A and B are shown apart, each in its own frame.
Chain A
Amino acid sequence: MSTSVFLAILVTSLATFSSRFFGVITSEKIKENSKIFRWFNCLAYSTLAALIARIIIFPSGFLSEVDYLIRFIVIISSIFVFYLTKKNLVYPTIFSAIILTLINSL
């Protein structure tokens, strides 16, 4: 394993684990029915939603090569499939991959 890649992986895992680790330290002082717990719960959902929206609207990597309109169509149709299949998670995710691959192949 080359040193630079090894160090990059180590630095990445450290940056990731630190948030989890400090999360446990903070949790020790928080009761599950407290207001602060509910606030953190809101923050967890909102930061996740912000992350997902950023990945979809301002993507990097392979997704950035896909036109906005195509991304929009895939997302809306995947949500439609999600509700059509009674909130099954597998169908919309597989559907999205297939439909996007097909549209790009045209």
Chain B
Amino acid sequence: MINLKYFFKGLGCVKSFDSPAIALGCCMVAIGALFKNIGFNIQESVFSTFLTYALPGSLVMAETMIIGGSLLNIFFAVWLVNSRLYPMTVSLMPLMMHKKQPKWKYYISCHFVAVSAWLIMKNNYKSIEKKNRIDYWIGVGTATWSVAILATLIGYISADYLNKNMMIGLAIVNPIYFMCMMIGSMKTLQINSSVILGAVLGPVFYFVSPEWCILFGGLIAGTIAFFLGEKNVN
């Protein structure tokens, strides 16, 4: 089944002080409080993080519900903002695929593909033999997912004690944390140019279409960065 040695090794990734647990926790506390403010009950809030586990998507769902959007509106808005998970999954799974591992592990554990777990895995996969990477990944994912669920619960319970300024303070944690993780990952020309061009073109395309700007900006930026990197290597 699962090699427990590597599973626990992955699980332990949230123990260190520099782990994503604190930052991820702060972000999810804000989500938990937001859920309470828009009228979710405690089960719905926890259930939402349990099933979705993608912070920007949960934010978009909450915002679409506030403005009275339909289920179709919610689906489309969430799909657009979370479509980044597709290239993220494709750029991670081949690193972990091994013919001796059953496929169900990949199809179930893809639920853990989210920025924090993804970046941890991208930064650490080389230190694990390919055969055991999926078990390590399941550990990493379980750890970050559990932190997210627990923090949502804490956020929901503590919502009454958080004033507006504290909520604003918590809201900046998510982009700052993602941004620092991205800067920390910038080690090759291809990744550097992907990050820089994406950060520029994403907002530029916002003027063309606020809904499609992440997809359009990301697709064009990533493609330019790919050719830049390939040309440089050749």
Task: Tell me, yes or no, whether B65 is within 8 Å of chain A by CB.
Answer: yes
Bound: A1/B171 CA distance, A: 27
Q: Mark B170-191, 1 if CB is under 8 A from A, else 0.
A: 1111111111111111000011
Q: Are B34 and A61 in contact (CB under 8 A)?
A: yes
Task: Tell me, yes or no, whether A5 is within 8 Å of chain B by CB.
Answer: yes
Bound: A30/B86 CA distance, A: 14
Bound: A58/B71 CA distance, A: 24
When C-beta atoms are compared, the residue in chain A nearest to B40 turns out to be A5
Question: In the complex, what residues of B have CB within 8 A of residue A21's CB?
Answer: 107, 110
Q: Are B225 and A46 in contact (CB under 8 A)?
A: yes
User: How many of chain B's residues have a CB under 8 angstroms from any CB in A?
Assistant: 106
Bound: A24/B213 CA distance, A: 24
Task: Tell me, yes or no, whether B200 is within 8 Å of chain A by CB.
Answer: yes
Question: In the complex, what residues of A have CB within 8 A of residue B161's CB?
Answer: none
Known contacts being A13-B51, A93-B176, is A50 close to B182, with CB within 8 Å?
no
Q: Are A74 and B172 in contact (CB under 8 A)?
A: yes
Q: Are B47 and A1 in contact (CB under 8 A)?
A: yes
When C-beta atoms are compared, the residue in chain A nearest to B63 turns out to be A60
Question: In the complex, what residues of B have CB within 8 A of residue A13's CB?
Answer: 48, 51-52
User: How many of chain A's residues have a CB under 8 angstroms from any CB in B?
Assistant: 78
| Chain A binding surface, main DSSP class | helix
Known contacts being A46-B195, A46-B221, is A30 close to B90, with CB within 8 Å?
yes
Pick the residue among A11, A14, A54, A101 that contacts B202 (CB under 8 A): A54
Task: Tell me, yes or no, whether B2 is within 8 Å of chain A by CB.
Answer: no
Task: Tell me, yes or no, whether B78 is within 8 Å of chain A by CB.
Answer: yes
Q: Mark A44-79, 1 if CB is under 8 A from B, else 0.
A: 111111111111111111110110000100110011
Bound: A100/B205 CA distance, A: 28
B48 to chain A, nearest CB (A): 5
Bound: A50/B198 CA distance, A: 5
The segment from B4-12, B16-24, B142-150, B152-160 found at the interface with A is B16-24
By Cβ-Cβ distance, the 3 closest A-B pairs, closest first, are: A23-B89, A50-B202, A47-B218
23 chain-A/chain-B pairs, Cβ below 8 angstroms: A5-B65, A12-B78, A15-B74, A21-B107, A27-B90, A32-B95, A43-B87, A43-B91, A44-B92, A46-B218, A48-B178, A49-B196, A49-B218, A52-B199, A53-B199, A53-B202, A57-B203, A61-B34, A82-B183, A87-B183, A93-B22, A98-B169, A101-B165
Identify 17 new A-B residue pairs, CB closer than 8 A, beyond the known A35-B230, A42-B194, A43-B91.
A9-B47, A20-B113, A23-B113, A27-B94, A38-B230, A46-B194, A46-B201, A47-B214, A48-B84, A56-B179, A57-B206, A66-B168, A90-B18, A93-B177, A97-B170, A97-B173, A104-B168
Which residues of A approach B to under 8 Å, CB–CB? 1-2, 5-24, 26-28, 30-32, 35, 37-63, 65-66, 71, 74-75, 78-79, 82, 87-90, 92-94, 96-98, 100-101, 104-105
